[in-house]
Amino acid sequence: MTKIPDSPARRRALRVLALGGLTAGIGLRGVLAEGRAPAIITLERSRPQMPSGVMSGDVSVRRAIVWSRADRPARMIVEVATTESMADPRRIIGPAALATNDFTARVDLTDLTPGQTHFYRVLFQDLADPKVFSAPRLGRFRTPSTEPRDLVFAFSGDEAGQGWGINEAWGGYRVYAAMHKFAPDFFIHSGDQIYADGPIPAEVILDDGSVWKNLVTPAKSKVAETLDDFRGNFSYNLLDENKRRFCAEVPMLVQWDDHETRNNWYPGQRIGAEETRYQERSASLLAAYGKRAMFEYNPIRFDPSDPERIYRMLRMGSMADVFMLDQRSYRGANSSNRQTTPGGAADFLGPEQMSWLKSALSGSRATWKVIASDIPLSLVVRDLNPDVPKGTFEAWANGDAAGPSGRELEIAELLRFIKVSGIRNVVWVTADVHYASATHYQPEHARFTEFAPFWEFVGGPINAGTHGPNEVDPTFGPEVKFVSIPPDLKPNRPPSDGLQFFGIGRIDARSQVLTVSLHDVTGTELFKVELPPAA
């Protein structure tokens, strides 16, 4: 047997391995920084690895999902405690991570302590050699409190879009690092978590002649058409160190939008011959792959009665309930969006989801009701895909200055219901349009007036091309209070221009005032408004 020379680096590495890698946040790269020990590195690599880190999500007063991914068939083990020292942890033997789920796995933690920071570590046991365990990866999350307590949340969307991927020289996905500084209790990801239809090149020449260099992978080098392609899109984003660090400490609340499948898709759509990049022409099949990969790669709690359902409500204690919508799965076909009666192509949420939302809002006893929409209410988004007719609309709004028509009929129905039912303190958060804005909706300025005033806040992009600003539809009386970009912005500005945005919501436990602020990629505050709760 070859004897490994002793050294301080080797001894440090052995201590890490002997402890089961409790300093996994540092890892062998850190402990061997002063000198390599090849045999130790080989031994470490022989253990199961966690290439995508760990994350938590869909947290509630007594529950949370913990997620991770192995690099081989392995059994997930989660230990959870209420002290950072992990004294006397509770151990849960989780499911096997197998190739059928791309080696992803999750545990639904229950019986948690309300209003408590919980610390967890994840291990994987090699199923081929049960004596071999991974080094653990550490994470934390805080459960909502049953008593009034200050609450902080972040919101944004849109990452790895328009050819702008992980540029490690620029600092990667820097919005995640900026949001992390606010220590939010949870993060609402408003969709376009991937750009399945947006390949990422190795280099992009910027206007000044400098070069933006992307981290590239095979899955991000073409449009996604297979399940493995979609999985590769989600795993790509978790190559970013900022995102992995953020996800390990901030619970994720995730919804989807179009780019988890293909730009502006709708159920039943056939991709036309004008779109030459695709061999697979069924948008519904692509969406099934995209939804499967999204559920595999996110800490979403499955609904036993409908395992593919994305819309759901998450109770954040007495201060807030969050209503996560799905504006993809139940919509009608994109059209001129001028229908005068509901149903068919005028559907956006669809009857079943609309009924659920009304019931959930009526039953909410939280001070604030936060509706997470993947698409803004009044910003006009036209479907400009090469295989659709001109004059086709993608979003709620249709640019018509008359009363509600098309998909706006659903908004009118919902806003009327909220007013008639006396439901107060409703705010909307969203992304999609690749700039930030704040809009106050007022019936006295509207074509449709049967609603109570409310606010909508737009975040994003996290790491994608900056676009806009969009045309504003006047139907529901929007008064735009803030826009984060100039009116003459050149399209598809790179992240290096600094025009990447997110929002922060803060609810004060004593006054119950909700303060919403919008921030740029550095965390600098651009806009802030304080919203007192209605009596």
Task: Write b or e for each residue in 242-279: b if 16 or more Cβ atoms lie within 10 A of its Cβ, otherwise e.
Answer: bbbbbbbbbbbbbbbbbbbbbbbbbeebebeeebeebe
- Cis before 461 (ω within 30): yes
Q: Are 141 and 59 in contact (CB under 8 A)?
A: yes
In terms of Cβ atoms closer than 10 Å to its own Cβ (0-12, 13-18, 19+), residue 83 is exposed
The pLDDT value recorded for residue 11 is 45
- Output the pLDDT for position 43: 65
- Residue 301 has a CB neighbour count (10 Å cut-off) of 16
The predicted pLDDT at position 515 comes to: 98
Q: What is the pLDDT of residue 426?
A: 98
Q: What was the pLDDT predicted at 17?
A: 41
Regarding beta strands 90-97 and 368-372, do their DSSP bridges make them parallel or antiparallel, or are they unpaired?
Answer: unpaired
| Cβ(513)–Cβ(530) below 8 Å | yes
Q: What residues in the chain have per-residue pLDDT under 70?
A: 1-43
Give residue 179's pLDDT.
Answer: 98
Sign of CA dihedral 381, 386, 391, 395: negative
Determine the topology of domain 48-142 in CATH.
Answer: Immunoglobulin-like (2.60.40)
| Strands 203-205, 137-142: pairing kind | unpaired
**Which tokens belong to 179?**
């949001």
Q: What is the pLDDT of residue 39?
A: 57
Angle at 376 between CA 375 and CA 377, to 5 degrees: 120
In DSSP notation, 171-213 reads TSSHHHHHHHTT--SEEEE-S--S-TT----SEEE-TTS-EEE
Nearest to 501 by CA among 488, 514, 485, 490: 485
152-194+242-256+301-530 is a CATH 3.40.640.10 domain: no
Q: Output the pLDDT for position 4.
A: 41
Nearest CA to 410 out of 323, 352, 472, 486 is that of 352
Determine the pLDDT at residue 45: 73
User: What DSSP letter does each residue of 431-495 carry, written as one string?
Assistant: --SSS-EEEEE-GGG-SS--S--EEEEE---SBS-B--PPPB--TT-EEEEEESS-TTPPSSB-G
Strands 454-458 and 437-441, bridge-based pairing: antiparallel
pLDDT digit string, tens, across residues 5-58: 445 444 444 444 433 433 333 333 333 344 445 555 566 779 999 999 999 999
Query: Looking at residue 14, what is its pLDDT?
Result: 41
Burial code (b: 16+ CB inside 10 Å, e: under 16) for 353-373 equals bbebbbeebeebebbbbbbbb
Q: Where are the domains of the chain?
A: 1-46, 48-142, 152-194+242-256+301-530
Name the residue among 24, 44, 201, 195 with its Cα closest to residue 120. 24
- List Cβ neighbours of 321 (8 Å cut-off, separation of 6 or more): 313, 314, 315, 360, 364, 366, 368, 369, 370
pLDDT of residue 535: 75
